[in-house]
């Protein structure tokens, strides 16, 4: 291992190299290495036409030069392979504008694919992704018309369909960690999310490439149990400082409550407002049972954690995030992925071994578009790319799934008054559509595997049944014809047992479900 500068490090990247980047949205970004790569390209126009691959590309959901946005320059990147492409708006726009070829894989598949590359195998064989946009009979993971290569293949084994996600070489790894010792052993001790850092280092080493790790400090000793990447897999280390001006992005200020070295008192947490987010979260909580392990998706589902605190049931259930967290309550908002007071922290790839095995009792996930059959899109909207993240692994391995989101989007305003829901201003965009832009959740897969699926919105609850989407509950104060059917592009099946949503959801005081969750 040799200590070098960021400027020296990025000179190892050659034209058309595939560069692996650590990252998990708001965490784990080798930020200073990405900045150095951008500055080198701006001054030298080198390297050109590289490939970049990452589990969830780092970014803060802005157009600023943060995370993967540092690579959003014409001619620098030719192709991107990731599970989530849209955390950097500039980079996502380049994909939408056909300037970059792009593939999106399920997050669990991505981590397992790195392992396959590290083991010099041909790829990953799995049912994950069947009937979704990952299926080569649909899009084959491709994210725009510019993307032509085939990275996934449909195979039958013993009469059952499987997808083979193909391995590819990775020439350079840029990895963010906490510490290195003088020999190059790497620790992730202060990282609130342990992503694919180790898998990426091993994959690049197996490909004969260069592994470069950005750390906060060189320390004299790292205990064996705290070594996440063994020195044999590390070629170069750079020592940098993180930028606290970016807020919680990349967590430049150590927060011990996110790794279990301190406890946060949840009693200090203020209740969230009684709006469409809280309505949906409250209705979802009514589905949960004591000791259930519940996966929470990004966006509106993270409100379930906040309601669990308010209802004093956060210690009766086990909330989980696919980034590797069991227990605690997810960090609210843009820094989603870590949890306050976690019980256990796994590597992301190890987490998907567990998830794929079916340990989750319920998954609470977002929805962006839904069609009559019950197919769901969360990965591509109005040409704005994002990707599936762990959504596909989770929805194909969990028996009970709760999709939640506002009924319409783009300016929706609601008011809860006297125990009833009022639509103050309707959203501009319908979410329940005849045809969705991309299939991230396939109803065909769910019904063939007898999964239990419900869709929760602030004004209505639907259930996926054999014949399609069925309306089973309506919020008090809502007119079915005006507020529901007129805001859908198709007419759902109306349940003969249609009922009102629980009236406690629409009152300011607690629902008092602490005793009910035992059932």
Average pLDDT, the chain: 95
User: How far apart (Å, rounded) are the C-alpha atoms in residues 143 and 488?
Assistant: 27
- Run of H or E residues at 470: strand 468-474
C-alpha distances out from residue 43 to 37, 151, 428, 511, Å: 10, 34, 44, 60
Q: How many CB atoms lie within 10 A of CB 134?
A: 28
- Residue 25 and residue 87 in contact, taking contact as beta carbons nearer than 8 Å: yes
Question: Which residues are the active-site residues?
Answer: 322
User: How far apart (Å, rounded) are the C-alpha atoms in residues 407 and 429?
Assistant: 9
Contacts of 270 (CB under 8 A, 6+ apart): none
Whole-number pLDDT of residue 298: 86
| pLDDT tens-digit readout, 208-220 | 999 999 999 999 9
Joined together, the tokens standing for residue 77 give 């990147």
Joined together, the tokens standing for residue 347 give 């590597």
121 SS3 class: coil
286 SS3 class: coil
Whole-number pLDDT of residue 496: 96
| pLDDT tens-digit readout, 258-303 | 999 999 888 778 889 999 999 999 999 999 999 999 999 988 998 9
Whether the per-residue pLDDT at 38 is higher than 90: the answer is yes
Whole-number pLDDT of residue 517: 84
Whole-number pLDDT of residue 333: 63
- Residue 26 and residue 334 in contact, taking contact as beta carbons nearer than 8 Å: yes
Whether the per-residue pLDDT at 155 is higher than 60: the answer is yes
Whole-number pLDDT of residue 266: 84
Q: Torsions phi, psi of 92, nearest 5?
A: -60, -35
| pLDDT tens-digit readout, 403-452 | 999 999 999 999 999 999 999 999 999 999 999 999 999 999 999 999 99
Whole-number pLDDT of residue 475: 98
Residue 428: is it exposed, middle or buried by C-beta count within 10 angstroms (0-12/13-18/19+)? exposed
User: How far apart (Å, rounded) are the C-alpha atoms in residues 40 and 76?
Assistant: 10
User: How far apart (Å, rounded) are the C-alpha atoms in residues 199 and 331?
Assistant: 25
Topology alike, domains 2-120+169-246 and 268-518: yes
Q: How many CB atoms lie within 10 A of CB 494?
A: 13
Per DSSP, which regions of 73-133 are E strands?
77-84, 101-104, 123-126
Q: Nearest-CA neighbor of 88 among 133, 130, 54, 139?
A: 54
Query: How would residue 515 be classed by pLDDT, with cut points 50, 70 and 90?
Result: confident
Beta bridge partners of 325: 321, 345
User: How far apart (Å, rounded) are the C-alpha atoms in residues 410 and 451?
Assistant: 31
Long-range contacts, 260-267 (Cβ 8 Å, 24+) = 260/341, 260/342, 260/343, 260/345, 263/341, 264/340, 264/341, 266/309, 266/314, 266/329, 266/340, 266/341
Joined together, the tokens standing for residue 184 give 């190059």
CATH 3.40.1080.10 fits 268-518, yes or no: yes
> Would you say the C-alpha torsion 305, 310, 314, 317 has a positive or negative sign?
negative
Dihedral angle over CA of 356, 362, 366, 368, nearest 10? 80
259 SS3 class: coil
User: How far apart (Å, rounded) are the C-alpha atoms in residues 58 and 413?
Assistant: 31
Domain ranges for the chain, please list them. Answer: 2-120+169-246, 268-518
Q: Taking residues 374-389, what's their average pLDDT?
A: 92
Whole-number pLDDT of residue 383: 74
Contacts of 158 (CB under 8 A, 6+ apart): none
Whole-number pLDDT of residue 296: 94
Q: Taking residues 80-96, what's their average pLDDT?
A: 95
Question: What percent of the chain shows pLDDT beyond 90?
Answer: 90
Please state the separation of Cα 92 from the chain's center in Å: 15
476 SS3 class: coil
Pairing of strands 408-409, 369-370: unpaired
| pLDDT tens-digit readout, 309-357 | 999 999 999 999 999 999 998 887 667 789 999 999 999 999 999 999 9
Q: Taking residues 84-95, what's their average pLDDT?
A: 94
User: How far apart (Å, rounded) are the C-alpha atoms in residues 297 and 390?
Assistant: 9
Q: How many CB atoms lie within 10 A of CB 219?
A: 15
CATH class held by domain 2-120+169-246: alpha beta
């Amino acid at each position: 291992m040799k200590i070098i500068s960021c400027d020296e490090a990025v000179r190892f990247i050659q034209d058309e190299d595939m560069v692996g980047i650590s990252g998990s949205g708001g965490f784990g970004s080798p930020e200073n290495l990405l900045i150095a790569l951008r500055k080198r390209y701006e001054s030298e126009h080198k390297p050109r036409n590289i490939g970049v691959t990452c589990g969830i590309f780092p970014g803060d959901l802005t157009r600023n030069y943060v995370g993967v946005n540092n690579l959003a320059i014409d001619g620098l990147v030719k192709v991107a392979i990731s599970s989530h492409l849209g955390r950097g708006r500039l980079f996502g726009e380049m994909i939408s504008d056909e300037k970059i070829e792009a593939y999106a894989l399920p997050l669990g598949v991505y981590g397992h694919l790195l392992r396959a590359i590290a083991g010099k195998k041909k790829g990953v064989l799995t049912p994950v992704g069947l009937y979704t946009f990952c299926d080569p009979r649909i899009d084959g993971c491709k994210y725009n018309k510019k993307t032509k290569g085939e990275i996934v293949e449909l195979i039958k084994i013993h009469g059952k369909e499987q997808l083979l996600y193909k391995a590819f070489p990775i020439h350079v790894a840029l990895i963010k960690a906490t510490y290195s010792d003088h020999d190059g052993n790497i620790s992730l001790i202060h990282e609130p999310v342990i992503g694919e850092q180790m898998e990426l280092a091993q994959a690049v080493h197996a490909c004969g490439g260069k592994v470069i790790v950005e750390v906060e400090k060189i320390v004299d000793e790292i205990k064996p149990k705290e070594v996440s990447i063994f020195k044999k897999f590390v070629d170069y280390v750079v020592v940098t400082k993180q930028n606290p001006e970016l807020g919680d992005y990349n967590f430049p200020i150590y927060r011990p409550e996110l790794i279990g070295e301190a406890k946060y008192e949840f009693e200090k947490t203020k209740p969230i407002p009684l709006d469409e987010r809280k309505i949906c979260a409250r209705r979802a909580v009514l589905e949960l049972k004591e000791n259930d392990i519940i996966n929470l998706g990004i966006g509106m589902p993270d409100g379930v954690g906040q309601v669990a605190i308010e209802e004093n049931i956060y210690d009766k259930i086990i909330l989980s995030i696919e980034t590797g967290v069991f227990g605690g309550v997810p960090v609210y908002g843009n820094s989603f992925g870590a949890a306050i007071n976690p019980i256990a922290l796994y590597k992301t790839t190890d987490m998907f071994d567990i998830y794929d095995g079916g340990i989750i009792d319920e998954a609470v996930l977002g929805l962006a578009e839904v069609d009559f059959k019950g197919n769901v899109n969360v990965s591509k909207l109005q040409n704005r790319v994002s990707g599936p993240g762990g959504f596909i692994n989770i929805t194909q391995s969990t028996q009970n799934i709760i999709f939640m989101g506002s009924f319409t989007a783009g300016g929706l305003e609601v008011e809860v008054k006297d125990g009833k829901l009022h639509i103050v201003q309707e959203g501009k965009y319908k979410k329940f559509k005849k045809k969705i832009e991309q299939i991230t959740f396939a109803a065909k897969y769910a019904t063939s595997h007898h999964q239990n699926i419900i869709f929760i919105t602030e004004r209505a609850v639907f259930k996926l049944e054999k014949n399609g989407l069925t309306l089973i509950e309506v919020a008090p104060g809502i007119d079915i014809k005006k507020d529901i059917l007129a805001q859908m592009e198709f007419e759902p099946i109306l349940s003969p047992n249609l009922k009102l949503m629980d009236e406690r959801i629409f009152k300011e005081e607690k629902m008092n479900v602490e005793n009910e969750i035992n059932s």
